[in-house]
């Protein structure tokens, strides 16, 4: 593979060119009817085939033996000379490095006067034509106004708006479009087969995605992937070459927004910046990520996630999406799109994303959609699967303001509208729910969850839970306002009512009975196995070490 793929597989016929059918058909028709223009302007994004089609046109108008559909034969003397870059009549000029008027006079105007050395037409292909100076454009304009019969100009540019109107009006203009990913994949697949290799389809799809409609970028990425060698290149191998997937980062950011973690979200942006990540690009890709989550939310089909995400991420996404609503995702996407203009400013690159994230974390919709203040909770559903058949406490269960201290103001508090009241009875009944509550807490605050591991529910009477702790460290941690709110929210969610929580140090407790007594189900495995290990774990959690 000494020759770059994009050179090696540069289309030799119109039919080989990917997309741009509107241009190919028009050009072939002009060749057929012998109504060729004297000047063409090819505009469009890079890597979409402008230079390729310019060369094809130059070859076709000079071919001595045109084939079906007015394709060049690629075998006559003229075609061969052009293919081997020997033709004196095809003049390619890179305007980016020849911007001055002298160059235009010398290379174009003077040269155009002479008849072609061998061919029917002398063809000037001027690439990046927008780079010419004003005086150079003026000189070019003169020759475009009275073009010699044997000359064809093809001007190519990625920035048509920089071309003087006087020049544009003298040209036949063609606008090239970006190549669709699926067409890029088709082309890449063909090249792979020509190279006698095999590459997993998902790799080709990733390449096409990264190339963003540019054939040259796609082929250059493919070339790097093929350089890995071997019989068949797998998605895993290709990760060595392909730009890193940011899916895990997107997941992290999505979770921060859902949990309204403003400060953490700002820290996240800062980290991206430190890692040299292009925030504009990152945001575009984040929107694409959210789109995939939205599609899954609608279809409920895990395959919609599995196409681009690894298994681990699919599992995590499904878990977080179980708690998110379609409207939340739509709101986040809408906000990002609405702030898109901000991202174009150059003042402080991180500012637009920071503003957007703060706004997103402040949206009420960001945590739960079907929410309303606690004070408006008249439609409480009857208990479902109550643990205890006792109905004595039914009246007490109906939501009422609870005598609580350290309470967050009610108006700020939000709860799920369709709340389910659970009658749990005594401590034994409560323990059936405690592990569910812990699981909920674990997802919100792992450190708090770990501290709760070192406690045991001692009693549950009249909606008051008493948690016994072995160590003051964990008790203090659990007892702070923020932690307590998390615990109470989780209890409210799963038991359907406010629970008063009290923490005490229980000198009778021993390390050994914590895991057994608290019914941690599958979390048991993560618990310390011996008292020594437990102490050591606790010490390391708090940055200390066991002495003596």
Options 65-73, 270-278, 469-477, 503-511: segment touching Zn ion (CB under 5 A) = 65-73
Q: State the minimum distance, in angstroms, from the CB of residue 27 to Zn ion.
A: 16
Q: Of 60 and 294, which has the nearer Cβ to Zn ion?
A: 60
For residues 410 and 339, what is the distance between their CA atoms, to the nearest angstrom? 33
Q: State the minimum distance, in angstroms, from the CB of residue 21 to Zn ion.
A: 23
Q: State the minimum distance, in angstroms, from the CB of residue 120 to Zn ion.
A: 11
Phi, psi for residue 399 in degrees, rounded to 5: -60, 130
Q: State the minimum distance, in angstroms, from the CB of residue 89 to Zn ion.
A: 14
83 lines the binding site for Zn ion (CB under 5 A): no
Kindly identify the residues of this chain, within the stretch 378-437, that bind Zn ion according to CB under 5 A.
none
Contacts 24+ apart (CB under 8 A), 349-355: 349/273, 349/279, 349/280, 350/269, 350/270, 350/272, 350/273, 350/279, 352/279, 353/269, 353/279, 353/282, 353/283, 354/266, 354/269
Q: Of 47 and 72, which has the nearer Cβ to Zn ion?
A: 72
Note whether 226 and 192 are within 8 A (CB): yes
How many residues touch Zn ion under the rule CB under 5 A: the total is: 5
* Among 36, 76, 235, 351, interactor with Zn ion by CB under 5 A: 76
In DSSP terms, 420 is beta-bridged to 381
For residues 346 and 356, what is the distance between their CA atoms, to the nearest angstrom? 16
Options 47-55, 72-80, 441-449, 516-524: segment touching Zn ion (CB under 5 A) = 72-80
31 lines the binding site for Zn ion (CB under 5 A): no
258 lines the binding site for Zn ion (CB under 5 A): no
Q: State the minimum distance, in angstroms, from the CB of residue 75 to Zn ion.
A: 6
Q: Of 30 and 463, which has the nearer Cβ to Zn ion?
A: 30
61 lines the binding site for Zn ion (CB under 5 A): no
Options 48-56, 62-70, 82-90, 331-339: segment touching Zn ion (CB under 5 A) = 62-70
For residues 481 and 408, what is the distance between their CA atoms, to the nearest angstrom? 9
Options 67-75, 166-174, 449-457, 528-536: segment touching Zn ion (CB under 5 A) = 67-75
Options 33-41, 61-69, 187-195, 494-502: segment touching Zn ion (CB under 5 A) = 61-69
Q: State the minimum distance, in angstroms, from the CB of residue 14 to Zn ion.
A: 13
73 lines the binding site for Zn ion (CB under 5 A): yes
For residues 540 and 531, what is the distance between their CA atoms, to the nearest angstrom? 14
Options 6-14, 59-67, 478-486, 514-522: segment touching Zn ion (CB under 5 A) = 59-67
Q: Of 66 and 305, which has the nearer Cβ to Zn ion?
A: 66
Cβ-Cβ contacts under 8 Å for 101 (sequence gap 6 or more): 133, 135, 136, 138, 139
> Which 3 state secondary structure label does DSSP give 503?
strand
Phi, psi for residue 311 in degrees, rounded to 5: -60, -45
Q: State the minimum distance, in angstroms, from the CB of residue 22 to Zn ion.
A: 25
58 lines the binding site for Zn ion (CB under 5 A): no
Phi, psi for residue 382 in degrees, rounded to 5: -65, 160
For residues 406 and 501, what is the distance between their CA atoms, to the nearest angstrom? 11
63 lines the binding site for Zn ion (CB under 5 A): yes
DSSP string, 328-385: HHHHHHHHHHHTGGGGG--S-TTHHHHHHHHHHHH-GGGT-SSEEETT----PBPPSS
Q: State the minimum distance, in angstroms, from the CB of residue 293 to Zn ion.
A: 53
Q: Of 79 and 154, which has the nearer Cβ to Zn ion?
A: 79
Q: State the minimum distance, in angstroms, from the CB of residue 62 to Zn ion.
A: 8
Binding site for Zn ion (CB under 5 A): 63, 72-73, 76, 79
């Amino acid at each position: 593979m000494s020759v770059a793929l994009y050179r090696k597989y540069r289309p030799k016929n119109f039919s080989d060119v990917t997309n741009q059918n509107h241009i190919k058909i028009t050009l072939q028709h002009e060749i057929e009817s012998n109504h060729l223009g004297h000047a063409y302007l090819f505009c469009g994004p890079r890597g979409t085939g402008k230079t390729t089609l310019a060369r094809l046109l130059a070859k076709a108008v000079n071919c001595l033996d045109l084939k079906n559909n007015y394709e060049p034969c690629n075998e006559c003397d003229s075609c061969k000379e052009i293919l081997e870059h020997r033709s004196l009549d095809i003049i390619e000029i890179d305007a980016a490095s020849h911007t001055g008027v002298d160059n235009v006079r010398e290379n174009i105007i003077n040269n155009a006067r002479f008849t072609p050395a061998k061919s029917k037409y002398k063809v000037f292909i001027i690439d990046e034509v927008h780079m010419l100076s004003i005086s150079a454009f003026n000189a070019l304009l003169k020759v475009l106004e009275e073009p010699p019969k044997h000359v064809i100009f093809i001007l190519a540019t990625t920035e048509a708006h920089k071309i003087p109107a006087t020049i544009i009006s003298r040209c036949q203009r063609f606008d090239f479009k970006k190549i669709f990913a699926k067409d890029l994949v088709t082309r890449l697949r063909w090249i792979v087969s020509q190279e006698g290799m095999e590459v997993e389809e998902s790799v080709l799809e990733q390449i096409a995605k990264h190339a963003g409609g540019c054939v040259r970028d796609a082929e250059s990425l493919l070339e790097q992937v093929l350089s890995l060698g071997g019989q068949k290149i797998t998605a895993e191998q290709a990760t060595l070459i392909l730009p890193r997937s940011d899916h895990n980062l997107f997941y992290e950011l999505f979770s921060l927004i859902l949990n309204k973690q403003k400060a953490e979200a700002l820290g996240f942006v800062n980290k991206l910046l430190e890692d040299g990540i292009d925030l504009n690009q990152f945001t575009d890709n984040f929107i694409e990520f959210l789109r995939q989550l939205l599609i899954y939310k609608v279809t409920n089909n895990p395959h919609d996630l599995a196409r681009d995400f690894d298994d681990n991420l699919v599992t995590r996404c499904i878990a977080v999406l179980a708690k998110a609503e379609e409207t939340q995702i739509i709101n986040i996407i809408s906000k990002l799109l609405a702030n898109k203009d901000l991202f174009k400013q150059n003042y402080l690159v991180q500012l637009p994303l920071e503003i957007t994230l703060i706004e997103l974390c402040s949206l009420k919709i960001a945590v739960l959609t079907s929410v309303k203040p606690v004070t408006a909770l008249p439609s409480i559903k009857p208990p479902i699967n109550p643990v205890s058949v006792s109905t004595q406490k039914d009246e007490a269960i109906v939501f009422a303001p609870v005598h609580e201290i350290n309470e967050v103001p009610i108006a700020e508090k939000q709860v799920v509208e369709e709340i389910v009241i659970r009658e749990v009875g005594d401590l034994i009944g409560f323990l059936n729910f405690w592990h569910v509550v812990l699981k909920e807490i674990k997802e919100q605050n792992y450190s708090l969850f770990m501290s709760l591991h070192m406690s045991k529910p001692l009693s549950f009477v009249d909606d008051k839970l008493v948690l016994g702790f072995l160590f003051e460290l964990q008790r203090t941690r659990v007892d702070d306002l923020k932690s307590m709110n998390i615990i109470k929210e989780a209890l409210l969610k799963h038991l359907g009512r406010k629970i008063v929580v009290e923490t005490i140090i229980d000198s009778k407790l021993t390390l050994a009975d914590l895991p057994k007594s608290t019914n941690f189900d599958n979390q048991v495995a993560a618990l310390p196995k011996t008292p020594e290990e437990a102490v050591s774990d606790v010490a390391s959690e708090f940055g200390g070490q066991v002495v003596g």
